[in-house]
Structure formats: C-alpha cells, structure tokens
A and B are shown apart, each in its own frame.
Chain A
Amino acid sequence: MTVTAAITTTAATATALDALYVYGITPAGVRTPRAQGVNGAPVRLLTESGLCAAVSAAPVRLLPRRRDLSAHQAVLDELAAQGPVLPMRFAVLSPEAGVLRSELRSDAAHWTKQLDRVRGCVEMNVKGAVVPGYFAELVRRDENLRALARRTRRRPDYEANVRLGEALARSVRREARHAAQEVLTHLAPLAVRTVQGPVDDEQVLSTSFLVRSADEPRFRQALDDRAREVGDRLALSVTGPLPCYSFVDPRPAPAGR
C-alpha cells in the first residue's frame, strides 16, 4: 500500500557545502561534545547571544541510518548531561552558520524561555504492549468467553474459530488498555508534563513524561511497581533519561516538514 508511495518520495537532497547539521541549542558555556556527529563529522559549538548551537558539517546525503541516528542521540545525550538542551529533530540543517547565528540572536528570549522550561528535567518514554497470553486468565474468569470457547470446541469450524479468536484478541486488548490507563493515572502525578505518542492495537501505551531529574528514582520505582501490578496484561518498557524531545515547542508557525 503506502510502501510504494514512500519509495517514490524524494531522496535526501544534496546539500550545500557550508550547510550545518544542527543537533540542539543549549545555554552558552557547555563543553563541546566529544561524540562523533552524523556521518562521523566532528561536532562544534556556535555561540551567540548567550546561547550555543551544537553543529557539524552537513553530510552530502542523509539517510536514517542506525549509526547516524545513534550519533544524533549521543551528541544530545552529552549536552543533556551538562544542563538543559533543546533537541532538534533528526535531519535538521541550517543553510549556513550566518543563518543559524542570526536565528539565535533574534530569538534569544524565546530559546532562553524554552531552556528554562526543561531545565533540571529529563524525558522518560514509557511504552506498553498487549500481553496476549492473558487470554487464558480471561477465559477462566469470563463466563461468556468460556461459553464461546465451549461452543467452538463442539463445532470447530473456521468461522467459529475466527469469532472465538477475535473475541479473545479484543478482550486481551481491552484489558491492556485498562492497565495502560491505570499506569498513566499513577505516573502522571510524578511528572511535570506528559505527551501522548501514537498507539495501536498492539502498543496501547506510548507516553513521554517530563520528569525532574531528582524525581527520576521515584518515577522508576513507581514504574516498577506498576509493571509488577499490570505485567500479566501489559508489558511495560521504559526509555530514558532522554533529552526532552517531546517537550520543546517548535517555533510558532514552523515550516513543519
């Protein structure tokens, strides 16, 4: 379906020689990250109006390769370890250093305010997936499902099996969604802000939490407790601490993508 359409999307554009790959914006005074940048390029800092932008020479072609995604992440991790950082999305380029400098200069107040909003905080991303094995417990508990299972066993034709399977799939999904709601209710009070990510039939929880660094142990403990509580229905996973990808606002009226 959409796969074909995606293939015809424009290839990564060739970039001008003086274009810069931009990783993120920090307050001035941070150490230059030692991690290699995208395409192995060394990372340097551009300082302007009390702000720093971490940049490297833009690669001629840019693909979402594993090592480049990791490089983007590694540079931001190093910056985040030193203080607040506004992470850019992967693959954002500035046409040249002058444009970047004037952007920092003209909107210094905006960036400083944004930095203050994530200062001392980390992003924790929590995902939860349906645990299909829980169906056995549901069959044991739910008289209707058990009756359906018995009927299907007496007349095991294709349609009946599909109906039974669908009912079971729906039930484990519903249980997982309830569990996800429970998890949210418990974790949200420990966070400064939360942002929902995309969910589907299998991944029923995908939420980023902006957590004060000091509260991270408490957050993890709460998550562990929840995981034990709902583990039979919902498989939780956590990624973090991360640079606050989900808690920065792009400029008002951004160009988007």
Chain B
Amino acid sequence: MITYDDDIVCAPRAGTLYDVLELILDRGMVIDVFVRVSLVGIEILKVDARIVVASVDTYLRFAEACNRLDLEHDVRSKTVPELFGGPVAATIGRAGARRTARSLTDKVRGLLTPEEETEEQEPLPRAGREERGRSPQRPRSRPAGRPRAEDDRPRPRTRRRPETEE
C-alpha cells in the first residue's frame, strides 16, 4: 500500500530502458538506401503509450478520494492515496520516485518478452491475445442509483482497458 506523506521525493528519477525506448525506436537515422526491418509489436507499443487516464474509472476514484477529504478542516488526508490503484497509484505519493505510466511499462514488459520467451516465434501476437482474454468488456456506465456500499467495496485495482477500446 502506498502511503502518502509530505516527504515527497522530488529528485528526478533516473531513466530506464523503457524511458528511452521511444528514442531508440522512433528517433535516430534511417538512411534511404538502407532497410528498416518492420517490427511486429511496435505499433502496439505506440497505441498503449497513448492510453489515456481520462476514464470513468479514474474519475470515480478521484471522487472517492475527494469524498474522504475533510473539506472544512484538513483536506490533506493521509488516507487519500490508498483509494487509488492502477495508473493513478503509479504516480501518487512519492512523486517521481514511482512514476512511469504503469500502463506503458506493463505493456512494454509484455512486449519486450522476458528472456525465456524470446526464442518463441510469435511472442507479440500471443501477448495481444492474452490482453484481450483478460479484459472482458465492462459496461461503461453504471446505473445512477447504485448503492454506495458497492462502490466502497474493496475491489482489485488491476488495470483495466475497456475504457480505452473504442
């Protein structure tokens, strides 16, 4: 569980291979007499990099967190970030230290297949199937009169993708 404290780590985090991926893949020279090999999976990577946080799920988590603030006195509740999970948790709390859009990182991890999988012939399409398999369509909206108790129920904070699928 991420705890929120005022001792925010502000120092810029050192980058990793993930941070430099877009540079290696999209920048640098391509010379016309040379050939750039077409790479399976790069397109997936780019799509995932653009997954937006602006989903109803995120909004509800913001609202949930906000509803626990003491609006009249101390709004800097210590319990606030515990309400967040998924992409939001990736950036909350120790600002910077734990950054990196989790959506992107996870996807990149899946894409840059672990060493033991790299000898497989089609690691990337396989990853794609998995992704679809564990993301059953969730309804985008819920009935307005839904009881609060249900919203407050702890639920797994795994990242869900349906909101980004048009």
Give me the interface of A with B, judged by CB distance under 8 Å.
Answer: 1-7, 9-13, 15, 19, 22, 24-25, 62-67, 69-70, 72-73, 86-95, 99-100, 103, 123, 125-127, 129-133, 135-137, 139-140, 146, 149-150, 152-153, 156-162, 164-166, 168-169, 195, 197-198, 200-203, 206, 208, 223-224, 227-228, 231-232, 235-240, 242, 245-246, 248-251, 253-257
Q: A7-B128, A69-B112, A99-B33 are in contact. Are A89 and B26 (CB under 8 A)?
A: yes
Query: Is B155 positioned at the interface, with any CB of A under 8 Å from its CB?
Result: no
Tell which of B37, B76, B100, B101 has the most Cβ of chain A within 10 Å: B37
- Name the 8 nearest CB pairs between A and B, nearest first: A239-B15, A165-B59, A231-B10, A6-B43, A66-B112, A165-B62, A89-B28, A161-B63
Question: Which of B47, B75, B91, B123 is A132 in contact with, Cβ under 8 Å?
Answer: B91
Q: Are A168 and B62 in contact (CB under 8 A)?
A: yes
- Tell me if A's interface is mostly helix, strand, loop or mixed: mixed
A93 to B36, CA, bound (A): 6
Q: A66-B112, A89-B28, A90-B28 are in contact. Are A6 and B40 (CB under 8 A)?
A: yes
Total contacts A-B at CB 8 Å: 327
Chain B 78-120, CB-CB to A under 8 Å as 1, else 0, gives 0011001001100111011101110100000001111100100
Chain B residues within 8 Å of A150, by CB: 71
Question: Which of A2, A64, A161 is B112 in contact with, Cβ under 8 Å?
Answer: A64
Question: Which of B17, B39, B67, B95 is A73 in contact with, Cβ under 8 Å?
Answer: B17
A162 to B122, CA, bound (A): 41
Q: Are B111 and A64 in contact (CB under 8 A)?
A: yes
Question: Which of B51, B53, B81 is A130 in contact with, Cβ under 8 Å?
Answer: B53
A173 to B85, CA, bound (A): 18
A129 to B97, CA, bound (A): 11
- Count B-side interface residues using an 8 Å CB cutoff: 99
Q: Are B8 and A231 in contact (CB under 8 A)?
A: yes
Give me the interface of B with A, judged by CB distance under 8 Å.
Answer: 4, 8-17, 19-45, 47, 49-54, 56, 58-67, 69, 71, 75-77, 80-81, 84, 87-88, 91-93, 95-97, 99-101, 103, 111-115, 118, 123-125, 128, 131-132, 141-146, 148, 151, 164-166
Q: Are A201 and B54 in contact (CB under 8 A)?
A: yes
Chain B residues within 8 Å of A149, by CB: 66-67, 69, 71
Question: Which of A87, A166, A239, A250 is B31 in contact with, Cβ under 8 Å?
Answer: A250
Chain A residues within 8 Å of B30, by CB: 88-89, 92, 250, 254-257
In the complex, 30 of the A-B residue pairs with CB atoms within 8 angstroms, ordered by the A residue number, are: A5-B43, A10-B40, A11-B40, A63-B118, A65-B112, A72-B24, A88-B28, A89-B28, A89-B30, A90-B24, A94-B34, A125-B19, A133-B93, A136-B66, A136-B69, A153-B67, A158-B143, A164-B63, A165-B60, A165-B66, A168-B62, A198-B49, A228-B10, A231-B8, A237-B15, A237-B100, A239-B19, A245-B24, A245-B27, A245-B28
Q: Are A3 and B93 in contact (CB under 8 A)?
A: no
Q: Smallest CB–CB gap between A76 and chain B, Å?
A: 9
A156 to B28, CA, bound (A): 52
Chain A residues within 8 Å of B125, by CB: 7
